[in-house]
Amino acid sequence: MTGVEVLFLLLGAVAVGAALLVVSSRNLVHAALWLVVTLGALAGCYLLLTAELVAWVQVLIYVGAVVVLLLFGLMLTRAPIGYSAEFTSGNRWMAAGVAGATAGVLVTVVGQAFGDAYVDVHAGVAGSSGAIGSAIFRYWVLPFEALSVLLLAALVGAIVLSRGGAASPGTDGTGIDGTGIDGSVTGSLAADQAGRVGDGAREGER
Amino acid sequence: MRLVYPLLVSALLFSIGVYGVLARRNAILVLMSVELMLNAVNLNLVAFDVWLGDGLRAGQVFALYIITIAAAEIGLGLAIILLVFRNRQTSDVDALRELGEYEHDRLVEEAAEAEQAIPRQAVREQAAAQ
């Protein structure tokens, strides 16, 4: 067992253990922070597999952006910050059975299929940014463009979804807005009537 | 390095993600478990790419694309969760059993009757009553 293998197994153990804490933690913020540990350990695994660009993109996008988005979501849904036992539903034993069966099947199949395969990680860097960049823009340009269109559509969709709740009738956001408009309209009508009454009173004085 | 090690880590991460999706109740925790499953797939792709020594670098390029798609997915998923929370005042997946919006007024009334600790709903009800 070489040093690279030992390091990889240690990082894999960290990733799997932190993932177990993500799905079993009784504190929402702690679960998000353990997700950071899992994703960081996976970035280390990519580095050991000599996929440098993927590792740094993982650090930038997942650890830097996705987890921050998740923490924003936790804040905006006013999720309970403290410890609570209510984050795991009643069917956790069935879920554990399904997950255990999945793990058993995958580990058995993978172990039997690739038990004697070796990756040569000392042959050079397989995923330098130069190699990946030329591969993307030489062979994979069409998926790249399709992905940019998909990102634009997702951006527009997220904006429409977050704005649509206040614009459609029937939701409670418009209740306040409607009464606000009604209130201003009735207020202006009342002011108008008061002005007329005042005019009438002045004419009566004359 | 033996190819089995990354594949084992990936299989275990995927199974943990399956457990999280099935067993968690908070919708944001379900999204976190989906991220675990996507990362397991990414590790598989990178490991097989390095093993095959593909000249096109298909595995790593697809891992990058999956990271991008996961970012888009998490943005849309959070927008949907925030919309659901705005309409139902909960992000509990087990509590979302009705598709229609007509149950909303009943839920708001029940919540306002059950506890006075949510002053916004009482304000909204007063505004709606006026």
Q: What is the dihedral of CA A18, A24, A28, A31, to 10 degrees?
A: 10
CA distance B57 to chain A (A): 6
* Phi/psi at A81 (5° precision): -85, -35
Give chain A's end-to-end CA distance (angstroms, integer): 109
Q: Taking the model in full, what pTM does it have?
A: 0.77
Q: Choose the closest CB to A66 out of B12, B53, B71.
A: B71
Whether A117 sits inside 8 A of B3 (CB atoms) is yes
Rounded-to-integer distance, Cα A86 and Cα B91, Å: 12
Which pLDDT score is estimated for A183?
39
Three-class DSSP category at B26: strand
Lowest mean pLDDT among A54-58, A195-199, B45-49, B120-124: A195-199
Closest alpha carbon within chain A to B80? A161
Give Cα separations from A195 to A183, A200, A202 (angstroms). Answer: 18, 9, 10
CA distance A63 to chain B (A): 11
Three-class DSSP category at B2: strand
Most A-contacting residue of B10, B12, B48, B123 (CB-CB within 10 A), to test interface:
B12
Q: Choose the closest CB to B65 out of A79, A123, A143.
A: A143
Which of the 8 DSSP states describes residue A64?
I
Tell me the chain A residues in contact with residue B51 when contact means C-beta distances shorter than 8 Å.
Answer: 117, 119
List per-residue pLDDT tens for chain A, 206 residues long. 789 999 999 999 999 999 999 999 988 899 999 999 999 999 999 999 999 999 999 999 988 889 999 988 888 887 777 777 778 887 889 999 999 999 999 999 999 999 889 988 888 888 899 999 999 999 999 999 999 999 999 999 999 988 865 544 444 444 333 333 333 433 444 444 444 444 544 444 44
Q: Residue B69 in contact with residue A147, Cβ under 8 Å?
A: yes
Give chain B's end-to-end CA distance (angstroms, integer): 72
Rounded-to-integer distance, Cα B95 and Cα A86, Å: 12
The angle that helices B27-52 and B4-23 make with each other, rounded to 10 degrees, is 160
Rounded-to-integer distance, Cα A154 and Cα B21, Å: 22
Rounded-to-integer distance, Cα B126 and Cα A206, Å: 45
Which pLDDT score is estimated for A181?
39
Spatial CB neighbours of A66, under 8 Å, sequence gap ≥ 6? B35, B70, B71, B74
Whether A132 sits inside 8 A of B80 (CB atoms) is no
Tell me the chain B residues in contact with residue A127 when contact means C-beta distances shorter than 8 Å.
Answer: 46, 49-50, 57, 60
Rounded-to-integer distance, Cα A137 and Cα B57, Å: 12
Q: Which tokens in the block code for residue A62?
A: 């997942």
Pick from B70, B8, B66: nearest CA to A45: B8
Closest alpha carbon within chain B to A79? B91
Q: Mind listing the pLDDT tens digit for each residue in B84-119?
A: 888 878 888 888 877 766 556 666 667 777 766 556
CA distance A195 to chain B (A): 25
